[in-house]
Amino acid sequence: MVGVSGKRGNGEGSIYPYKNGYAAYVWVTKPDGKRARKYAYGKTREEVHEKWLNLHAEAKKGPVVTRHRTVAAFLTYWLDSVVKPNLAPLTYVSYEGCVRLYINPHLGAKRIDKLTVRDVREWINKLSTSCQCCAQGKDAKRRREAQRCCAIGECCEAHPSRRVVQAARDALRAALTHAVAEEEISKNVASLVKVPKPRRRKIKPWSVAEAGRFLADCAARGDRLFAAWVLVLCLGLRRGEVLGLTWESVDFETGELYVDHQIQRAGRQILHRETKTEESDDFLPLPALCLKALRIRRAQQIGDRKAAGDLWQDTHGLIFTTKYGTPIEPGNLTRMFALRVRRAGLRVIPLRNTRHTVAALLVALGVHPKVAQRILRHSQIAITMDVYGEASDEAVRAAIGKLSDAMGGTG
* Alpha helices per DSSP H over 99-159: 104-107, 117-128, 132-135
Structure confidence at residue 410 (pLDDT): 44
Given this structure, which CATH class describes domain 71-192?
mainly alpha
From the options 1.10.443.10, 1.10.1740.10, 3.40.50.10800, 1.10.10.10, give the CATH code of 208-353.
1.10.443.10
Structure confidence at residue 27 (pLDDT): 84
**In sequence order, what are the beta bridge partners of 200?**
none
Q: How far apart are CA 288 and CA 265, in angstroms?
A: 32
Q: What tens-digit pLDDT sequence spans the chain (411 residues)?
A: 444 334 444 434 478 888 888 888 888 887 667 788 878 888 888 888 888 888 888 788 777 666 678 999 999 999 999 999 998 888 899 999 999 999 999 999 999 988 999 999 999 999 999 999 999 988 889 898 888 999 888 899 999 999 999 999 999 999 999 998 887 888 999 999 988 887 777 778 888 788 889 999 999 999 999 999 988 888 888 888 899 899 998 999 888 888 888 877 777 777 777 766 555 556 788 888 889 999 999 999 999 999 989 899 877 889 999 999 888 998 999 999 999 999 999 999 888 888 777 777 676 666 666 666 666 766 666 666 666 555 455 555 555 455 445 555 543
**Residues 180, 186 contacting (CB under 8 angstroms):** yes
Q: Which backbone phi and psi does 398 adopt, to 5 degrees? A: -65, -40
Structure confidence at residue 116 (pLDDT): 94
Neighbours of 267 (CB within 10 A): 12
The residue type of 20 is N
Q: Which backbone phi and psi does 353 adopt, to 5 degrees? A: -80, -10
The residue type of 349 is I
Structure confidence at residue 282 (pLDDT): 62
Structure confidence at residue 105 (pLDDT): 94
* Alpha helices per DSSP H over 182-287: 208-220, 226-235, 239-244
- Domain layout of the chain by residue ranges: 15-61, 71-192, 208-353
**Residues 81, 54 contacting (CB under 8 angstroms):** no
Q: How far apart are CA 11 and CA 319, in angstroms?
A: 76
